[in-house]
Structure 1
Amino acid sequence: MVLVSDAYTTIPTTFETPLQEKVYQTLQELDMAFQRVETDEVITMEDCQQINERLDMEMVKTLFLCNRQKTNFYLFVTCGDKPFKSKEFSQALEIARVSFASAEQMASMLGTKIGAATIFSGLLKEADKVQLVLDKAVCEQEYYGCSDGTTTGYLKLKTEEVLQKFLPYVKRQPKIIEV
């Protein structure tokens, strides 16, 4: 059982990582309403169930992937309950099979550790080399639930605001696929 705080609509009083601080600064700057919770460390989608219940939404699954040569990187955002099938993902993008990028690559390119991959890594210059790929089903959800860049902080945002405010702000044009 994962401990989940009450939902807050204010920024944290302290930040665990530079990315987390940038996330909340950007949300304020873009005037994006959010709810957030603080938790014990959460790594798996199963751990997210209590967060989903507290925030009354479904957390997205965010995967950091790369090709075999480790020259092309992808941040794939899909529905939390959808199993990931590398073959389907690769076919949808018309690319060679992908696998999970390493924890070291995640830390250096996304500014996060395993379990905290987030679309908000787009705030970092190092993430410019990572192609953002969104599952069409995620884009159709009312709410977007994700990590704030840590494994102990989670957000509920309007999906429409993520797509229409945040992504243009970071100058990211996602590839939208159906899998």
Structure 2
Amino acid sequence: MPKLVLPTRAIQVINRSIDLFHHHGFHTVGIDRIVKESKIPKTTFYNYFHSKERFVEICLTVQKECLKEKVVSIAEYDQVTSATDKLKKLYFLHTDLEGLYYLLFKAIFEIKLTYSKAYQVAIKYRTWLINEIYSQLRVFKTDATFQDAKLFLYMIEGAIIQLLSSGQADESESYWNMICNCLF
């Protein structure tokens, strides 16, 4: 997707809608609710975004780019933190149910059949993240495999599912301890 340049008003609509999608889902939040809560005319929405599918793709792209910045700041720019601690930070960043990854995770389950281009945004992020995890694993475990990185991501996503089903966000630490026992 080419670099997006949008007016401030469009960015406000995107930010509001990301929150709506995050808390209510992609299918229950329609254009009517988006324009009502964003206080813009429907024609303005369509002038900016053209369709709901394109809009969802833009929202996920914005979310993905914000998340990638955070991951890069943890994995690449923090030179004093150990690889294990970086992985721990990545784990907690991604298992935060109010955090940036949750919307991308939710998209994987909700939009595959209806918004395939937007779905690909979430899938491409997962692939990118697996590579970042693999890079960190290789720092302290030279025999780490790409499968180990996938397993780490699957454990993150399993923890999200457990947190959602238990309703207790404070269990995230115990899931981290299980990951440490399995991988390290």
TM-score when scaled to structure 1? Answer: 0.25
TM-score when scaled to structure 2? Answer: 0.24
The structure where helix makes up a greater share of residues is 2
**Structure with more relative contact order (C-alpha pairs < 8 Å, separation 6 or more):** 1
The structure number with the bigger radius of gyration is 2
The structure where strand makes up a greater share of residues is 1
